[in-house]
Structure 1
Amino acid sequence: MGSRSTLINDLSIISRCRLFLPRRARNAGSCKNHNLVDKRFNSGVPPSTVSSRHFYQNEKLLEFSARSSRPVSLRQLAFFGMKLTNEKIIQSANFVRQELPTRMAHRIHDMQSLPYSIVQNNHISNVYELYYHSFNTIRRFPVIKTIEDNSRFCDLLRELLAQHTAVIPQLVMGVIECADLVDSKRMDNFMDSMLRSRISRRVLTEQHIALTEEFLKDPNFKPTEQVGQVFFQCSAADIVRQCDTLARSLTQSIHRDIPLPELLFEGDVETKFAYVATHLRYMVGEILRNTFEASSERYKATGDPLSPVLVTINDAPQHVTFRFSDRAGGIPQEIVPYLWSFVKGPRSMIRHHNFKQVPELEAIVEELEASLALAMGQRKRISSLTSLTTRSPTLRLGMGLPMSKIYAEFWGGRIAVKSIEGFGCDVFLHISKLGNESQFVQMNNI
């Protein structure tokens, strides 16, 4: 992130281009309330905040984007919530109140750094307007001094979380439509930074809300299994079995008469470790969905009996490694170079069409049902596993592996795929244990 002086120097250059912008862009005003944001999210009208004056001459955005976000690790998140007090809840609230607009300003600056024609794309401009609205709303919230202040702040955070449910499909559709306007690697890097930052903000927000709810329920609560979103004893094999049940049910709802391969476990099946369980479920769920879909297609093509999927779990000193080995035919060679790309690939336009049919899609899949609960006046968080069934396997989105890669790397892990076309795939998911690499994975500048 550049310094304030660098941003102002850039501003002087960019401002001279204002005369060449469309009249609509020069004269547009700023968004005044979130209802306008919600309406435009489903319209073809470019948002009003994407104007040259707002876009390049906003002093508050320059001020916040010049700040550095403060680092937070998974270990810190877990140990902060071990013993809660009024003072710690208020401290957490003010940390979130200051961090969220700083991190959002960084991402708004990323959008400003793209060619202006890209940000005028309806999908990208919708995201820009939504980010600006959230940035402005949170930065104006007064300093939190009491538990009552924090309750109002949590209500605001829940509302903003619900408003952001359509960000991911909007971003993906936007970068696909703009793929020919800029280098695809640059657009993939843009998506990477946007989504990493989104994860960090949602972790901070969800963790604070969860700690608040636990404290209000019982001020003397002492966690034994989890602190907020961090589970101390994630069972590797149980997570895989849970995701297997749902992915299998989802696939069979479409391919009713096709048998799916069973899972066979080997290795350290009793392994337990600390992690954000929703993130792990998402990654494992996407891997199994891909496996079952490929298996059903191979069975339809050949009619051959399906070999079991071998799930190997290895508990190493610093990592837990999952290996999923199938014999579902592997990945077509024309797809392999684009396996980790959000932008390019021979099926990008099919993905774009499918994204239009998914108005609310979440990377952490519980968010859709959480927003529905909010709309019904409920505050309880609903398990991510139930909302997996809201997405049909007929909608090929092509984002499961790229998103899983971002989630794995976010906490110091990684994911890799080895494919033999005509035979099968090995997918390796390496999870960093709490207190090792994840201790040093700092959520700053993301």
Structure 2
Amino acid sequence: MAVKKACESFSKGLIEEVQRWGCLKQTGVSLRYMMEFGSEPSLRNLLISAQFLHKELPIRIARRAIELESLPYGLSDKPAVLKVRDWYLDSFRDLRSFPDIKDESDEKHFTQMIKAIKVRHNNVVPTMALGVQQLKKGIKSKIVYQDLDEIHQFLDRFYMSRIGIRMLIGQHVELHNPNPPPHCVGYIHTKMSPLEVARNASEDARSICFHEYGSAPNVNIYGDPDFTFPYVPTHLHLMVFELVKNSLRAVQERFMDSDKVAPPIRIIVADGIEDVTIKVSDEGGGIPRSGLPKIFTYLYSTAANHVDEQTDLGTGDSVIMAGYGYGLPISRLYARYFGGDLQIISMEGYGTDAYLHLSRLGDSQEPLP
């Protein structure tokens, strides 16, 4: 099957326009700005927001489309990666062919269109994972992790940019909600309780562990139940879920055939002046020191690989206990998106501590790859 280059399926004019827009400067926004701006979702503010996105989204999308064309090792030619590239080019074309936004009716139509773009890109992460799998199959023995550094850095930029695009679209769409939940400004909860989010995420992770192993270690959570701060609960849920899921799996597998009771996973929420830190500790045996650098790469998973050509990527909701090894690197990007970070400290033979730092100030600009 001949590989279709972008110039065959998309007009020359569109490709030139992508190149042109990809050179324009991106504009980052902070959590605080999104919160203050969105707290008054007046018609005028929604218009300003739509006009901003009309200009900003094509720049961000064009940059990624250009990068998707020139990846090392022939990754750009893998069928899954071509599919992702086509989604980006389609979305760029939709945005660029949308006329200037002048009134409420334009803004409503624009909001519907970007909503559709967000849905179109739902499966970008598993589809890119599939592309990387297709690549790894092709170069099994010759693979040198240092050489794949370039691919890893590209994926970091690519996924970080995707988090930003989805946050901007989701935030704008959510401001149209006629009955927003209390204390919510779009995706942002101004009085989010990290303890409550951690509890929900732990329960979700435990139910998956139950499903897979027939039992699940306990999770104990410590911290001030009344403490709240402004953050995006869906982001925090995703990160804590990932960390707890990894801990549950490690403990479960370590104590499965033992007559000892599996020790609980401990979550501690600490509220500092600059950061809110969430520590997830387990006694799952830890990770050897040589393995630590690999846990944040997209080309490594300790679990058996679940992504293959047959994987149904239709729903985007199917969660497996251990998947394509993307949970940790992507969780770290979510933390960094609003100025935080994720660190993993391991004691081989004992267990692992994950430190999730969330910036309290909400002033850091989006990191724009």
Aligned residue number for residue 351 of structure 1? 305
1:291 to 247, 255, 261: 247
Whole-Å separation in 1 of the counterparts to 2:211 and 2:6: 51
The answer as to whether partners of 1:342 and 1:398 remain within 8 angstroms in 2 is yes
1:136 to 85, 93, 104: 93
Whole-Å separation in 1 of the counterparts to 2:348 and 2:73: 41
| SS of corresponding position for 1:161 | helix
| SS of corresponding position for 1:307 | coil
AA partner of residue 363 (structure 2): Q
Aligned residue number for residue 381 of structure 1? none
Sequence identity (%): 28
1:406 Cα deviation from its structure 2 partner: 0.7
The answer as to whether partners of 1:169 and 1:355 remain within 8 angstroms in 2 is no
1:268 Cα deviation from its structure 2 partner: 3.8
Whole-Å separation in 1 of the counterparts to 2:308 and 2:19: 37
Determine if the alignment matches structure 1 residue 30 to structure 2 residue 6: no
In structure 2, the CA distance between the partners of 1:63 and 1:234, relative to structure 1 (3 Å rule), is same
Map Cα deviations across residues 333-353 of structure 1 (whole Å, 9 max, x no partner).
664331000024676xx4364
Aligned residue-pair number: 362
1:311 to 267, 276, 298: 267
Determine if the alignment matches structure 1 residue 242 to structure 2 residue 207: no
Whole-Å separation in 2 of the counterparts to 1:157 and 1:273: 29
1:392 to 320, 340, 343: 320
1:267 Cα deviation from its structure 2 partner: 4.1
Map Cα deviations across residues 103-153 of structure 1 (whole Å, 9 max, x no partner).
011111222332483211111111111111111111110111222222211
In structure 2, the CA distance between the partners of 1:356 and 1:419, relative to structure 1 (3 Å rule), is farther
In structure 2, the CA distance between the partners of 1:153 and 1:423, relative to structure 1 (3 Å rule), is same
Whole-Å separation in 2 of the counterparts to 1:432 and 1:27: 40
The answer as to whether partners of 2:70 and 2:76 remain within 8 angstroms in 1 is no
Q: How does the TM-score come out when normalised to structure 1?
A: 0.75
The answer as to whether partners of 1:330 and 1:423 remain within 8 angstroms in 2 is yes
| SS of corresponding position for 2:217 | coil
Determine if the alignment matches structure 1 residue 321 to structure 2 residue 277: yes
Determine if the alignment matches structure 1 residue 200 to structure 2 residue 164: yes
In structure 2, the CA distance between the partners of 1:416 and 1:23, relative to structure 1 (3 Å rule), is closer
1:251 Cα deviation from its structure 2 partner: 1.1
In structure 2, the CA distance between the partners of 1:81 and 1:320, relative to structure 1 (3 Å rule), is same
The answer as to whether partners of 1:340 and 1:401 remain within 8 angstroms in 2 is yes
The answer as to whether partners of 1:74 and 1:411 remain within 8 angstroms in 2 is yes
Determine if the alignment matches structure 1 residue 233 to structure 2 residue 191: yes
AA partner of residue 196 (structure 1): M
Whole-Å separation in 2 of the counterparts to 1:30 and 1:160: 19
In structure 2, the CA distance between the partners of 1:293 and 1:226, relative to structure 1 (3 Å rule), is same
Determine if the alignment matches structure 1 residue 111 to structure 2 residue 111: no
Runs of 4+ in structure 1 off by over 4 angstroms are 22-28, 179-182, 344-347
The answer as to whether partners of 1:354 and 1:396 remain within 8 angstroms in 2 is no
In structure 2, the CA distance between the partners of 1:328 and 1:118, relative to structure 1 (3 Å rule), is closer
1:275 Cα deviation from its structure 2 partner: 0.4
AA partner of residue 333 (structure 2): I
Aligned residue number for residue 75 of structure 1? 32
AA partner of residue 276 (structure 1): V
Whole-Å separation in 1 of the counterparts to 2:45 and 2:225: 37
AA partner of residue 29 (structure 1): E
1:175 Cα deviation from its structure 2 partner: 2.5
After the TM superposition, which residues 76-225 of structure 1 pair with which residues of structure 2 at under 5 Å, given as runs?
76-115=33-72, 117-179=74-136, 180=139, 183-214=147-178, 225=183
Map Cα deviations across residues 66-104 of structure 1 (whole Å, 9 max, x no partner).
100112111110000111221111111111111111101
The answer as to whether partners of 2:129 and 2:307 remain within 8 angstroms in 1 is no
Aligned residue number for residue 228 of structure 2? 272
Aligned residue number for residue 8 of structure 1? none
Whole-Å separation in 2 of the counterparts to 1:355 and 1:251: 25
Aligned residue number for residue 440 of structure 1? 364
Whole-Å separation in 2 of the counterparts to 1:27 and 1:428: 42
Aligned residue number for residue 337 of structure 2? 410
> Where does the alignment leave 5 or more consecutive residues of structure 1 unmatched?
1-21, 32-48, 362-367, 369-386
The answer as to whether partners of 1:355 and 1:397 remain within 8 angstroms in 2 is no
1:157 Cα deviation from its structure 2 partner: 1.6
In structure 2, the CA distance between the partners of 1:334 and 1:357, relative to structure 1 (3 Å rule), is farther
The answer as to whether partners of 1:405 and 1:414 remain within 8 angstroms in 2 is yes
Q: How does the TM-score come out when normalised to structure 2?
A: 0.89
Q: Find the structure with the greater CA-based Rg.
A: 1
AA partner of residue 122 (structure 1): P
Whole-Å separation in 1 of the counterparts to 2:3 and 2:252: 51
Aligned residue number for residue 341 of structure 1? 297
Whole-Å separation in 2 of the counterparts to 1:312 and 1:399: 24
Whole-Å separation in 1 of the counterparts to 2:200 and 2:276: 18
Aligned residue number for residue 251 of structure 1? 209
1:322 Cα deviation from its structure 2 partner: 0.8
